[in-house]
Structure 1
Amino acid sequence: MKLAIRPQSTWQQRIQVPLQVVLYIAFFLTAQRLVDWLRLPLPANIVGMLLLLALIMLRVLPLNWVKAGSRWLLAEMLLFFIPAVVAVVNYSQLLRVDGWRIMLVIMISTLLVLSATALVVDRVYRFEMRLAARKKERQGE
């Protein structure tokens, strides 16, 4: 049975993204206070994302409450990188002299991050497969 999705009114569409962005800001501020209060060795943005993930996975916060805002932020991400472009323009002499070293560090660190991510995904996938096999064995008994 397929449920019909009711279209949102224009008012809901216009207010949804700003409200979700405000929600993200509230998560960040809450996470910042938690980091300061508990003296956590993690940045507040990571703690906020973990908090948001936990609330979504525990079904306290419905996914559709954060979906439109996250899509908008991802679509506008280039605007958040403008300061990096300005820094490149301001330090062009540094890039001419040490640019190859900077690029080498960026390439190596990117390779390390991608490799670590692939390793973690592979391990989690194998773990999930073992759990599924155990569950199937128990159901077969």
Structure 2
Amino acid sequence: MFRRAARLIFEIAVLVAFWWLGGWIATLTGLPLPGGVIGLALLLVLFACGAIRPALLQGGAGLLLAEMLLFFIPALMSLLDYGPLLRSEGWKILLVITASTVMVMLSTALAVEWMCNRSSRHEPR
């Protein structure tokens, strides 16, 4: 039990170290990217070249992924206080969330498609 907890803490510490390193690199270089993205890119490079096996961080990453909703949407914890509201208006809230998610995905896809078409027209052949 203690050994498993120590391993999880170590794996999460390694992931946090990559996040911190990515933030440091972003600050140092002035890159307009979040430190987490840079840190994950560094970790991906280490996975790809075989310096680190993904299985070594699987437990910590799995724990963080399982709790990701709590990291990104802390307001979900307050939903416990609004049970009656969710029972009466929950379908409307779900409809708004679904519609807004679809609109964001469509606008992102259209923007990427537009930029790809635009950049391909300006490429030297």
- TM interval, shorter chain, is 0.5 to 0.7
State which of 94, 102, 111 in structure 2 corresponds to 1:107. 102
Sequence identity (%): 27
1:36-67 per-residue CA deviation (whole Å, 9 max, x = no partner) reads 11111111111111111111111111212111
State which of 25, 30, 35 in structure 1 corresponds to 2:21. 30
Where has structure 1 moved over 6 Å in runs of 4 or more?
86-89, 99-103
Q: C-alpha distance in 2, partners of 1:112/1:49?
A: 26
Q: Structure 1 residues 105 and 62, CA, compared in 2 at 3 Å: closer, same or farther?
A: same
Larger Rg belongs to: 1
SS of the residue 1:60 aligns to: coil
Verify the 8 A CA contact 2:22 2:38 in the aligned structure 1: yes
Q: C-alpha distance in 2, partners of 1:107/1:76?
A: 24
Which residue is 1:59 aligned to? Answer: 50
Structure 2 residue runs without a partner (length 5+): 82-92, 114-125
Which residue is 1:17 aligned to? Answer: 8
Q: Structure 1 residues 112 and 16, CA, compared in 2 at 3 Å: closer, same or farther?
A: farther
Equivalences for 1:120-131 in 2 at 5 Å? Answer: none
Q: Structure 1 residues 86 and 67, CA, compared in 2 at 3 Å: closer, same or farther?
A: closer
Q: Structure 1 residues 20 and 36, CA, compared in 2 at 3 Å: closer, same or farther?
A: same
Which residue is 2:61 aligned to? Answer: 70
State which of 38, 50, 68 in structure 2 corresponds to 1:47. 38
Relative to its length, the structure with more helix (as a share) is: 2
RMSD of aligned residue pairs (Cα, Å):
3.1
Q: Structure 1 residues 47 and 86, CA, compared in 2 at 3 Å: closer, same or farther?
A: same
Q: C-alpha distance in 2, partners of 1:83/1:11?
A: 29
Q: C-alpha distance in 1, partners of 2:97/2:6?
A: 42
Alignment-mate amino acid for residue 11 of structure 2:
Q
